[in-house]
Amino acid sequence: MFVPGVFAGDVDEFTLRAVSDKGLTVRGSPTHGPRHAPMLLDRLAAGETSTDHLATHPEGRPVPRVNDTAQRAAERVARWRDAPAVHPTGVLCSGTLHVAGRGERPWGEPWLDRHASYPAIVRWSHALGTPRRLPDALGLAVRVEDAGGPDLPLDLLFTSSGAGRLGRHVPLLRPDALTGAYSTLVAYRTGECERVLAAFPTLDPPHTPRPTLWQELVCRPVLFRLCAAASDEPWRAFASLTLEAVHPAPAETTVSYDPVAHSLPGLRPAGRLNRLRDAAYAGSRRGRGAA
């Protein structure tokens, strides 16, 4: 927080508790505002100067110290586990993702509006690695091969959650793989709108699913319906995902997913929490020695 200018006396209703709770750094300096402000604003607009290095809480991105802490913590956990910092145990599946294409309402992102099919590599995992049959936050990491062109994949990360307006943002502990929704928890920029993405298991024919994804795949392909919705919208399908086979994948050699690095111009994570998550994933990859 910057306080330039010439001030005298007390400032009413200025609470130091808010400063300490938010970890703010307050810096002040006597300044001839009317003389220097126009010149400073012109230089900022022209990109000739910047105040970013003075701020502890820059607008639009998390505190650098929080990012650094998340990255270091994830790196240490991944090095200790010799596996991803979170979702350390899982199974790799291969399948196909079918994009429905432009319907009555376009999405505003060419990839979502174009009917096409792509090979997919999916990792289903336990976030904490709890013992078998105990509830855990379940993960569904989807890599869509060549979504952005040759050798340009798209990574979408889903976590077991609710499907309501609030529940879609909260991880939900669940013992079984196919008894509820998975969501991205935080929003993606889809065209001109921010929407949460979700994967809904589709049981066809209707039956009681087995507890784990690989047990279900032994009997039949597993189908998910991929949807998106803003806070004031109902869920709208944009693709289907069919899983067809399971592949052995030790934790130390599993696919390294990254929803920020592997995104599309019109379909990418949005908001501060996604930037914080990006730092944690970077730390996890470094701890594992993954590219």
User: In the prediction, which pLDDT does 1 show?
Assistant: 55
Tell me if the pTM is above 0.85. Answer: no
Interval 31-40: pLDDT, tens: 665 566 666 6
Per-residue pLDDT averaged across 40-66, rounded? 56
* pLDDT at site 70: 59
Asked if pLDDT for residue 290 goes beyond 60, the answer is no
| pLDDT number for residue 176 | 84
From CA 282, how far away is CA 285, in angstroms rounded?
5
User: What is the C-alpha separation between 220 and 161, in angstroms, rounded?
Assistant: 24
Largest CA distance in the chain: 77
The confidence score (pLDDT) of residue 134 equals 73
Mean pLDDT lowest among 72-76, 135-139, 229-233:
72-76
User: Could you give the CA distance from residue 199 to residue 217 in angstroms, rounded to a whole number?
Assistant: 17
pLDDT value at 253 more than 60: no
Distances (CA, A) of 148 to 42, 94, 110, 112, 226: 39, 19, 10, 11, 18
CA–CA dist 195, 177 (Å, integer): 24
- Strand 236-247 to strand 89-99: parallel, antiparallel, or no bridges (unpaired)? antiparallel
Alpha-carbon gap, residue 243 to 57, rounded angstroms: 43
Side-chain-facing half-sphere of 269: CA atoms under 13 Å: 22
Helix H, strand E, coil C: the string for the chain is CEEECCCCCCCCCCCHHHHHHHCCCCEEECCCHHHHHHHHHHHHHHCCCCCHHHCCCCCCCCCHHHHHHHHHHHHHHHHHHCCCCCCCEEEEEEEEEEECCCCCCCCCCHHHHCCEEEEEEEEEEECCCCCCCCCEEEEEEEEECCCCCCCCCEEEEEEEECCCCCHHHCECEECCCCCCCEECCCCEEECCEEEEEEEEEECCCCCCCCCCHHHHHHHCCEEEEEEEECCCCCCEEEEEEEEEEEECCCHHHCCCCCCCCCCECCEEECCHHHHHHHHHHHHHHHHHCCC
- CATH pick for 87-270 out of 3.30.420.10, 3.30.365.10, 2.40.180.10, 1.10.645.10: 2.40.180.10
* pLDDT tens digits, one per residue of 173-212: 988 888 899 999 989 988 778 999 999 999 876 767 777 7
Residue in the structure block whose two tokens are 């990491």: 141
pLDDT(11) > 60: no
Please give the angle made by the CA atoms of 156, 285 and 189, to the nearest 5 degrees.
Answer: 30
For the cut 60, the answer to whether the pLDDT of residue 227 exceeds it is yes
- Letter for the amino acid at 92? L
User: What pLDDT score was predicted for residue 99?
Assistant: 96
What is d(CA 43, CA 169) in angstroms, rounded to the nearest whole number?
Answer: 41
Give pLDDT, residue 179.
Answer: 87
pLDDT tens track for 112-122: 999 999 999 99
**In terms of pLDDT, which residue wins out, 18 or 228?**
228
Report pLDDT for 270.
82
More confident: 174 or 98: 98
Residue 49 pLDDT exceeds 90: no
Region(s) of the chain under CATH 2.40.180.10 = 87-270
**CA 157/CA 279 separation, integer angstroms:** 15
Give mean pLDDT, residues 260-281.
76
Mean pLDDT of the chain: 77
Mean pLDDT of 121-126: 88
pLDDT grade for 154, boundaries at 50, 70 and 90: very high
At 158 the pLDDT is: 95
